[in-house]
Structure formats: C-alpha cells, structure tokens
C-alpha cells in the first residue's frame, strides 16, 4: 500500500517546519527537548520494524538503544576515538546485538520471543550497572559532543544533524518497507509456514530484521549519548521499555506514521508530568490500557481504518494486462525425458504410527503426476517430508538430479520445489495481490542496501513484478479480486489464490495438495486448463486430489498410496482397472 | 556436607515460592494461552497486604492471609475480564501481553502509592528457634513454606485430576473450542483458573514475606521473572513441572549465590533463562506450547 501525496506533503512540511524551529529563537531547553524527541522517534521506528512489520514481540528494545549509547560512550571517553566514529560504532554494536538476539531466539516463538527480549533487557541493565569498565551504576557522565574536523556542533547544529539522520533513516525504512525485504518481514508475521514454502527463510528474515532494527536503535542510543552528554543504566530500564510500548501502541504499529505520532504524544505527556514522576508510570499504563480499549490499532491505525483512510492511504491503481500474458517460454521437448523427482524408500514414523513405510515414486519432467490414496494413507506426510516441513526417517530423495540430504522448507522452495498446503495458508490480513507478490520473493531484488535506496531500476523491476502478479491472478480468474483482503474470499477462491501464489514463484516442481477442494465446477475446469497450460510450458506438477474425475482426466501418471505404502503406479486408465487399487481405494467391486 | 544440606533447605524454601508462582502461570496459560505477566506482582501485592493488616493493623495472621488471598483473587478476576475482553477482539498476542504487562505496572505503582515505596520488614510467621536438621539450621518459616507449597500443589493437582471443574480446566487446556461443544462453560473455566491462580498468589505472598524478609512494591517483576524461569525449566502446563522447576531454580540460585561475586547472580540467572530458552524452547519437561501458542489462538 502506498501513502498518498497528502501524507508525503505532510511529512515534508512537518520536517521543514521542525527544521526552522531553531531559527525562531526559542530557548535552548526546547531545542534540547525536540532533539530528544527526534532521537526517540528513530528508536521507535526501529521498534516498529521489528514489532510492527515482522510481528516479533520485542519487549526490551531499549537494550539495543543502551548498547549503542554505551558503545559510543566507551569508545569516545575511555578510548578517545572521535565522536563521529563513535556514533558509527554505536550503530555497529546495535547491529551486532540485534544479530545476537536473533541467534538466541532461533527457535523461540510468539511469547517466548518476548520473554527472551525481556531477559535480554534485564541482562543488559545488570551488566551496565555492575560492570566497572562501563562505569557501573555511575554510567558515563561526561561524554563529549559532536565535532567534525575542529568544527564543534552547538545545540542548534546538533539538532539539524539529528533531524538529518532521522530523515535519512525514515527514507531508508520507507524504501525498505515497499521492497521484497519489507514484504518478507510482513510474510513471517502473517504466516511463517506459507512464507517458508515460497522461499522466505523465517530465521534469515528475523536475523535481517533484528540487524536493521538493532542498527537503528544503536544509532539512536549513540545520538542520545552525545546529545545529553551522559549515558546511564536507566537507558536499559524497564520503565523506558514501557514508554516505548505506550508510544508504539498509542501511535499504531506497522504503519509509517504511527511511531511519529506515538512519540509526539508521549513526549508531550512527559513534558507535562515531569514534576510528577511517581504518577508517570500509572499515567503511561492507563494510556496503554485505555488506547487498547478505545483504539485497537492506535491513533494512526484507527484513522486508517476509518472513513478518513482515503485521504492518507491510496490503493494502487491496477491495470490488468489481460492482453499481454507473459507466458513462460515453452521448453523444447527433449529427446529423452529426465526425472524431476526420484523418491526411494522414504519412511516416516510418528509415535507408534508408521505414516510412510518406504515409499518409491519417480516423476518425469514436464508431466502431471497424480498422488492418490484413501484418507490417512500418507499423501500429505509425503509432501511434508519432500518439502522439508517434516524430516524423513529413512529414504533418498533426488530432486532435479541432485540428492536432497536434509530438506528445509525455504531451501526446497529456492531449489525449485514449491507447494500449496492442504488447508489454506494465506497471509491473512493482506490483500490478494500482496499475497501473490509474496510468491515473487525469490525473483525480486533482495539486496539490503539496494532495498533501502530509491534506485529507479529496482522500482521498475518492482513494477514489472506487480504486473506479473496481476497476470498470474488473471490466469486463475481472480484479477478482479486483486484489491480485496484475502480473508474476504470464499474458500475455493482462496485455494485458487494459493495456486496463483505458488505459480508466481515459477517453480520447476509444483506440489498441489488437494487444490480442487471447495472449487465450483467452472473453477475446476479453469484449474484443469491452467495446469495443462503450465505442463506445456515445462513445469512438473505433483497433484494430490480426491476428486477422481479431475485427477484422471489430467494426469500423465498416478501413484497410489495405502497405509504408507505404494500399492500401484502407472498410467491413469491402467490404475483405474488395477484390482488392488479398486479394492483398497474404491471398495470391492460389485459383480455385474 | 552440612553446608550442602543447609543450601539445599534454603534453596527448597526459596524454590517453593518460585514453584507456586510457576503454578499460577501454568493454570492461566493452560486455559487461556496467556502468560500473565502480572503474576509476580500479585504475589508482591499479597505480601504487602498481609504485612499491613497483620503488623500495622494488628489483625490475627490467619485472617490477614485470608483477606489478602480474597483481595488478590479478586484483582486476578478483574485482570481476567480485561484480558478476555482484549482477546476476544484482537488476535495478536501483543495485545494481551501489553494488557497483562500494563496491569503489572499499574499494580506496582498503585501499591507504591498505597503502601509506600520503602520495603516493609516482614516478621516471622512462626517465630521460634531455628530447626536443626542434620548439621543444618533453618527457620521455621522456611519449613512452613516448603510444607505449604507441597500441600497446595498436591491439592491443586488432585483438583485438576479428580473434580469436574478440574477436568473442565484440562479440557479447556486441550482446546478452547471442543469443550464448548460439550457444554462446558469455557468462559467460567477461564475465570476460575485466573481466580485460582490469584488465590495461589495470595498464599504465596504470605509465605514469601519471611523468606525474603521484606515486602516491597518493586519486587513484582523479579518474582514474576524468576517464576517464569521455573516454568521454563519445568515446562508449561504441568503441576509436577512447576514443582520441579521451582525447586531446582531455588537450589540453583542458592548455590550460585555462594559461588559468584556479589551482583553477578542476577545477571547469571537472566543469562541462564536465555540459554535455557535457546536450548529447550518449550522447557525441559514441557510440550511444545510455543508452536501452539503462535498458531491458532482462537479463544474468544
């Protein structure tokens, strides 16, 4: 989604007005106060990257901020490095701390992630308040201000410097949020499994996210240290963490303007309750709970979900390129067909249930291969083992001539094996077109630095990908649904959307787990046509389906599973007459 | 050897407090899939209420503990209403995390206003000479904490396994939807589990006083985190897990306190929590709640 001209104009005018404040001759206290707010806004934007975009519940984000502040304090005061260098080191230490945090939260989900970040905050607080090298409880009281080549930055100059850094940071974040990396953050927030199935590594994405947000938080901490001339253990206190939640919850998570509004409100409250420190935490908690009751999405979120949204948010106008389908080039039929997938003796056991007992399957390139069998025969388990959502106990898998040792979901997607799930796994709160864009992840520019810069060529390729996503959508007949929230689609259309999303990734092997469930007869015909078309473009498709008419009219070969074993494989019409299959699958034949 | 027994007993008495806090987390989590970040604050609140009513107002100690238990259970019920309201409206775990955290801060600061910021000395519940066991000598209150914790955990374990409401709690722990179809009033079960965890916090507050020697409004967060570490060790959702987790944490902390330089102990505990969660994200004895909690949180 894009911000409107109005939002952009408001941002530019706002920055312009703020930049002029020092010239109006207000007193130095206000200059200091606003600089602090600007620095805090950078910190809050950093929290927004983690909490808002990636949905990672970071409860101790100011630990990263304190680490940045302490880093620059140590290197400028104790080592004697120049201040500019110290600020960069603050950023670098923030990045490192973010990565360290990501490593420790490798397997932690949801609330456990939050607990680890909270423990990390207390650990940081204990360390800085006890460690003599960092001044223990006294902190660093005399940190020099910024000076570059003999030119000393006064209050006003530092104000403009902080504002400049802020504008650059917000610009970079704005670019990032509309890039493939920004989308991958949202993808792991909405649905990790679906993200992994499209080649987005959940762990890699979390690490990148925390590195970016750690860097920003570290930068904010360093800027603050040189602004106030001191850094103390309180920077890593829980009270400060609380202020951050209040600001982000009141402002609204996951939006560009949310943190700015949040910090403005919290700074104002700070200013007017400064002589009333006992009550401050209560006021903050009250605001927190109150805003949860009154405005669930914060000020900005509430505006965006109200009738005013049109003023601030613009849905992209999509032109549906019905005429120029970008069809993938047909591959020349090779003289000798090769096997795209080769499975030998694959076995998987769940406590006491032998779900798969040595399954063999081989699939020719450019064919549609049916995988059928009664409920509980192990079809989905086989797919999960192939795509790395489960780990097989035994057996070999060769995909495109390469042996797969240990499959991991995102790695299999990168290797060219993309699946859809048996039950819809959509990115729930996003629009239909945004769901399809996730399928384009592996084909987008994912270089962090290019994604943070306004590079025209990246913009153009993003536009092309958007066009691609639309043409894929129109191939499944959902073009007119592009701008609807995915949750509003009926079941069958959600299935088609998932097919479109997987197709968009242009895999070599597309695995469809019961795609026809819930489709109308018209949609079924369209899906069948689409799959034939994909096959003729050279894609291989493994199709799991219960609708026999659909399967048998479409596939080149069929493998039949029963109780985790392969009981037959071959041409569809032969399989349909195979007595073992008829008995196991369709029941005993009644003599005519 | 004597030192070892001494440390073991002190550790166990400290551990009983953690075990009871862990049990409180566990009860609420199993029915509601919510980590009540205010659990430690409820314990802190109870210890302040008990010491105020008993010492300052001269109430009989039993009555003070009873009153405190009722008050804290009522606070917990209030919190349950707030969390249920939030959970029914928004799916993001952030919302209930912020609700319970916000409530924790409110409790802490309101307690500071009502009871003052300074720690209040908490006298012995059972005065008398030290009890000698082997070569070790421990206070009567330490033994009381261990005995009451064990008894309380036994009762609650039996309640969960035998009584019809206990079975309803277990059914709700299994799924928020299926029990509804069986006619179990899930909303009431959740409220009961919250109130029960509040009552446990009430008793824990009284036991904690003499073991910590002070009651203070700023102890909540520390208690809450230590209790949570016990949960992580023991695993969410099991009474035995809470017991094992709490006791081993208490002993570990007592032993570490003797070994590490002063001040490093707290940092070591937080570090241990992080390491533990990295190695065993769902606790040593626990099932993989993390996966479930992040998945379908459909409890309305």
Task: Indicate the number of domains in chain B.
Answer: 1
- Indicate the residue of B102, B267, B293 with minimum beta-carbon distance to A130: B267
- Inter-chain touch A109–B293, beta carbons under 8 Å: yes
- Whether residue B299 is contained in a domain is answered as no
Contact A161, A39 (CB under 8 A): no
**For residues B149 and B13, what is the distance between their CA atoms, to the nearest angstrom?**
9
Residue B19 has pLDDT above 70, yes or no: yes
Nearest CA in chain B to A191: B295
Max mean pLDDT range (A101-115, A492-506, B64-78, B174-188): B64-78
Q: Which among A368, A365, A363, A362 has a CA at the least distance from the CA of A331?
A: A365
- Inter-chain touch A112–B95, beta carbons under 8 Å: no
Alpha helices in A480-520 (DSSP H): 491-504
pLDDT at A42: 92
- Indicate the residue of B35, B102, B112 with minimum beta-carbon distance to A285: B102
Six-digit token string for B47: 């210890």
A268 touches chain B (CB under 8 A): no
pLDDT at A2: 54
pLDDT at A98: 95
Best probe of the A interface among B277, B283, B296, by most A CBs < 10 A, is B277
pLDDT at B292: 37
Residue B175 is part of which domain span? 2-294
pLDDT band per the 50, 70, 90 thresholds, residue B152: very high
Overall average pLDDT of the B257-286 stretch: 73
Residue A281 has pLDDT above 60, yes or no: yes
pLDDT at A302: 67
Q: Which has the minimum average pLDDT: A64-68, A335-339, A350-354, A585-589?
A: A585-589
A130 touches chain B (CB under 8 A): yes
Q: pLDDT tens digits for A186-196?
A: 898 888 889 99
Mean pLDDT over the full length of chain B: 83
**For residues A423 and B33, what is the distance between their CA atoms, to the nearest angstrom?**
23
Which CATH number goes with the domain that contains B145? 1.10.3470
Residue B143 has pLDDT above 80, yes or no: yes
A238 touches chain B (CB under 8 A): yes
Global confidence as pTM: 0.84
- Indicate the residue of A130, A253, A289 with minimum beta-carbon distance to B263: A130
Reduced to 3 states (helix: H, G, I; strand: E, B; else coil), residue A320 is coil
Q: pLDDT tens digits for B91-126?
A: 567 777 878 888 888 898 888 888 888 888 888 888
- Indicate the residue of A57, A104, A282 with minimum beta-carbon distance to B274: A104
Residue A6 has pLDDT above 80, yes or no: no
- Inter-chain touch B278–A104, beta carbons under 8 Å: yes
- Inter-chain touch B274–A59, beta carbons under 8 Å: no
- Inter-chain touch A127–B112, beta carbons under 8 Å: no
**For residues A106 and A94, what is the distance between their CA atoms, to the nearest angstrom?**
18
Overall average pLDDT of the A437-447 stretch: 85
- Inter-chain touch A126–B101, beta carbons under 8 Å: no
Angle at A239 between CA B43 and CA B38, to 5 degrees: 25
pLDDT at A326: 47
Overall average pLDDT of the A325-352 stretch: 71
- Inter-chain touch A242–B89, beta carbons under 8 Å: no
User: Of A250 and A106, which is predicted with more confidence?
Assistant: A250
Nearest CA in chain A to B37: A115
DSSP of A1-41, one letter per residue? -EE-HHHHHHHHHHHHHHHHGGGGT--HHHHHHHHHHHHHH
Residue A4 has pLDDT above 80, yes or no: no
- Indicate the residue of B95, B98, B267 with minimum beta-carbon distance to A126: B267
- Whether residue B112 is contained in a domain is answered as yes
Overall average pLDDT of the B68-78 stretch: 94
Chain A residues in contact with B103 by the CB 8 A cut-off are 285, 289
- Indicate the residue of A108, A110, A286 with minimum beta-carbon distance to B277: A108
Q: pLDDT tens digits for A218-244?
A: 999 999 998 988 888 888 888 788 888
pLDDT band per the 50, 70, 90 thresholds, residue B300: very low
- Inter-chain touch B281–A51, beta carbons under 8 Å: no
> Regarding beta strands A417-420 and A509-513, do their DSSP bridges make them parallel or antiparallel, or are they unpaired?
parallel
A427 touches chain B (CB under 8 A): no
Domain-wise residue ranges, chain A: 2-314, 339-416+507-592, 427-505
Provide CATH code, domain A339-416+507-592: 3.40.50.300
Contact A292, A301 (CB under 8 A): no
Q: pLDDT tens digits for A18-49?
A: 888 888 878 888 888 889 889 999 999 999 89
**Cα→Cα distances B199→B35, B85, B137, Å:** 17, 22, 31
Overall average pLDDT of the B148-176 stretch: 86
pLDDT at A306: 63
Best probe of the B interface among A107, A134, A189, A247, by most B CBs < 10 A, is A107
pLDDT band per the 50, 70, 90 thresholds, residue A542: very high
pLDDT band per the 50, 70, 90 thresholds, residue A325: very low
pLDDT at B270: 78
Query: How is domain A2-314 classified at the architecture level of CATH?
Result: Orthogonal Bundle (1.10)
| Burial class of residue A18 in the structure, from the number of CB atoms within 10 Å of its CB (0-12 exposed, 13-18 middle, 19+ buried) | middle
Q: How far is A189 from chain B (nearest CA, A)?
A: 10
The answer to whether ipTM exceeds 0.90 is no
**Cα→Cα distances B260→A332, B223, B264, B267, B268, Å:** 72, 20, 6, 10, 9
Residue A208 has pLDDT above 50, yes or no: yes
Any residues with CB less than 8 A from the CB of A476 and at least 6 apart, and which?
A496, A497, A499, A500, A503, A526, A527, A530
Chain A residues in contact with B94 by the CB 8 A cut-off are 51, 55, 57, 253
pLDDT at A294: 66
What is the rounded end-to-end Cα distance, in angstroms, of chain B?
Answer: 54
Q: How far is CA A154 from the centre of its chain?
A: 41
- Indicate the residue of A51, A55, A296 with minimum beta-carbon distance to B89: A296
- Whether residue B138 is contained in a domain is answered as yes
Residue A68 has pLDDT above 80, yes or no: yes
**For residues A517 and A244, what is the distance between their CA atoms, to the nearest angstrom?**
46
- Inter-chain touch A112–B290, beta carbons under 8 Å: yes
Q: How far is B229 from chain A (nearest CA, A)?
A: 10
- Whether residue B98 is contained in a domain is answered as yes
Q: What are the residues of chain B with a beta carbon less than 8 Å away from any beta carbon of chain A?
A: 35, 82, 85-86, 89-90, 92-95, 97-99, 101-103, 105-106, 108-110, 112-113, 221, 225, 228, 232, 263-264, 266-267, 270-271, 273-274, 277-278, 281-282, 290-291, 293-294
pLDDT at A219: 95
- Whether residue B300 is contained in a domain is answered as no
User: Of A531 and A352, which is predicted with more confidence?
Assistant: A531
Contact A98, A124 (CB under 8 A): no
Residue A287 has pLDDT above 90, yes or no: no
Q: How far is B26 from chain A (nearest CA, A)?
A: 14
Alpha helices in chain B (DSSP H): 2-32, 39-51, 61-89, 93-115, 140-162, 164-174, 178-181, 186-212, 220-234, 239-259, 264-279, 289-294
Q: Which has the minimum average pLDDT: A327-341, A556-570, B1-15, B40-54?
A: A327-341
User: Of B173 and B285, which is predicted with more confidence?
Assistant: B173
pLDDT band per the 50, 70, 90 thresholds, residue A332: low
pLDDT at A317: 58
Q: Which among A380, A417, A422, A421 has a CA at the least distance from the CA of A540?
A: A417
Q: pLDDT tens digits for A129-156?
A: 888 888 788 888 888 888 887 788 888 8
- Whether residue B241 is contained in a domain is answered as yes
Q: How far is A288 from chain B (nearest CA, A)?
A: 7
pLDDT band per the 50, 70, 90 thresholds, residue B197: very high
Mean pLDDT over the full length of chain A: 83
Residue A551 has pLDDT above 60, yes or no: yes
Residue B294 has pLDDT above 70, yes or no: no
A242 touches chain B (CB under 8 A): yes
pLDDT at B285: 60
User: Of A512 and A445, which is predicted with more confidence?
Assistant: A512
Q: pLDDT tens digits for A72-102?
A: 999 988 888 888 889 999 999 999 999 999 9
Any residues with CB less than 8 A from the CB of A142 and at least 6 apart, and which?
A77, A229, A230
Q: How many CB contacts within 8 angstroms connect chain A with chain B?
A: 115
């Amino acid at each position: 989604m894009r911000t409107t001209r109005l939002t952009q104009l408001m941002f530019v005018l706002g920055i312009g007005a703020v930049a002029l404040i020092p010239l109006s001759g207000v007193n130095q206290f206000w200059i200091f106060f606003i600089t602090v707010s600007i620095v805090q806004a950078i910190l809050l934007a950093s929290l927004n990257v983690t909490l808002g975009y990636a949905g990672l519940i970071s409860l101790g984000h100011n630990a990263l901020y304190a680490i940045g502040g302490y880093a620059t304090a140590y290197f400028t005061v104790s080592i004697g490095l120049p201040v500019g260098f110290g600020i960069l080191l603050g950023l670098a230490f923030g990045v490192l701390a973010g990565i360290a945090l990501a490593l420790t939260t490798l397997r932690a989900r949801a609330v456990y992630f939050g607990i680890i970040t909270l423990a990390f905050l207390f650990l940081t607080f204990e360390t800085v308040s006890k460690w003599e090298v960092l001044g223990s409880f006294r902190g660093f009281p005399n940190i020099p201000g910024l000076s570059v080549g003999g030119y000393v930055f006064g209050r006003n100059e530092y104000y403009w410097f902080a504002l400049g850094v802020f504008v650059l940071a917000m610009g970079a974040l704005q670019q990032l949020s509309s890039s493939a990396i920004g989308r991958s953050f949202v993808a792991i927030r909405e649905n990790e499994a679906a993200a992994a199935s499209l080649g987005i590594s959940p762990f890699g994405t979390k690490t990148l996210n925390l590195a970016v947000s750690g860097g920003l938080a570290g930068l904010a901490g360093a800027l603050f240290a040189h602004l106030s001339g001191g850094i103390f253990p309180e920077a890593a206190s829980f009270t400060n963490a609380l202020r951050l939640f209040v600001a982000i919850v009141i402002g609204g998570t996951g939006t560009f303007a949310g943190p700015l509004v949040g910090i403005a409100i919290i700074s104002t409250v700070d200013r007017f309750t400064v002589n009333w420190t006992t009550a401050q935490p209560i006021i903050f908690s009250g605001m927190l709970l109150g805003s949860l009751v009154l405005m669930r999405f914060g000020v900005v979120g509430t505006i965006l979900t109200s009738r005013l949204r049109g003023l601030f948010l613009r849905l992209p106008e999509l032109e549906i390129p019905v005429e120029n389908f970008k069809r993938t080039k047909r591959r020349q039929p090779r003289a000798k067909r090769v096997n795209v997938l080769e499975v030998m003796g694959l076995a998987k056991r769940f406590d006491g249930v032998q779900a798969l007992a040595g399954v063999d399957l081989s699939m020719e390139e450019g064919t549609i291969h049916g995988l059928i069998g009664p409920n509980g025969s192990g079809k989905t388990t086989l797919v999960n083992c192939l795509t790395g959502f489960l780990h097989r106990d035994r057996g070999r898998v060769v995909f495109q001539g390469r042996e797969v040792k240990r499959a991991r979901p995102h790695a299999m997607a990168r290797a060219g094996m993309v699946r859809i799930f048996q039950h819809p796994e959509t990115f729930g709160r996003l629009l239909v077109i945004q769901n399809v864009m996730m399928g384009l992840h592996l084909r987008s520019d994912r270089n962090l630095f290019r994604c943070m810069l306004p590079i025209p060529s990246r913009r153009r390729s993003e536009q092309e990908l958007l066009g691609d996503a639309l043409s894929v959508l129109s191939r499944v007949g959902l073009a007119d649904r592009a701008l609807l929230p995915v949750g509003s689609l009926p079941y069958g259309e959600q299935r088609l959307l998932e097919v479109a999303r997987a197709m968009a990734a242009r895999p070599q092997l597309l695995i469809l787990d019961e795609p026809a469930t819930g489709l109308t007869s018209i949609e079924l015909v369209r899906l069948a046509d689409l799959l034939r078309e994909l096959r003729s473009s050279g894609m291989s498709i493994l199709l799991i389906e219960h609708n026999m008419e659909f399967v048998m009219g479409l596939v080149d070969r069929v493998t039949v599973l029963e109780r985790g074993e392969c009981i037959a494989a071959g041409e569809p019409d032969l399989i349909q007459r195979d007595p073992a299959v008829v008995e196991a699958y369709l029941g005993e034949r009644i003599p005519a | 050897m004597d030192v070892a027994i001494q440390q073991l007993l002190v550790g166990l008495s400290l551990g009983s407090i953690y075990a009871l806090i862990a049990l409180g987390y566990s009860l609420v989590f199993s029915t509601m899939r919510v980590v009540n970040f205010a659990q430690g604050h409820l314990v802190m609140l109870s210890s302040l209420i008990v010491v105020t009513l008993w010492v300052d107002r001269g109430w009989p100690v039993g009555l003070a503990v009873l009153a405190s238990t009722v008050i804290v259970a009522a606070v917990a019920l209030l919190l349950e209403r707030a969390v249920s309201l939030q959970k029914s409206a928004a799916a993001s775990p952030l919302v209930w995390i912020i609700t319970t955290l916000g409530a924790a801060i409110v409790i802490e600061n309101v307690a500071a206003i009502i009871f003052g910021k300074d720690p209040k000395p908490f006298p012995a519940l059972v005065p008398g000479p030290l009890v000698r066991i082997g070569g070790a000598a421990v206070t009567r209150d330490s033994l009381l904490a261990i005995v009451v914790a064990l008894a309380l955990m036994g009762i609650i374990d039996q309640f969960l396994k035998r009584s019809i409401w206990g079975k309803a709690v277990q059914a709700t722990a299994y799924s928020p939807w299926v029990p509804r179809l069986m006619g179990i009033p899930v909303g009431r079960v959740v409220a009961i589990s919250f109130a029960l965890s509040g009552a446990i916090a009430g008793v824990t507050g009284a036991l904690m006083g003499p073991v910590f020697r002070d009651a203070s409004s700023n102890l909540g967060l520390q208690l809450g985190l230590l209790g949570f570490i016990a949960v992580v060790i023991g695993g969410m959702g099991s009474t035995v897990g809470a017991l094992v987790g709490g006791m081993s944490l208490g002993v570990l902390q007592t032993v570490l306190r003797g070994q590490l330089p002063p001040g490093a102990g707290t940092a070591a505990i937080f570090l241990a929590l992080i390491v533990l969660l990295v190695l065993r994200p769902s606790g040593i004895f626990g099932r993989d709640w993390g996966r479930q909690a992040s998945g379908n949180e459909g409890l309305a």
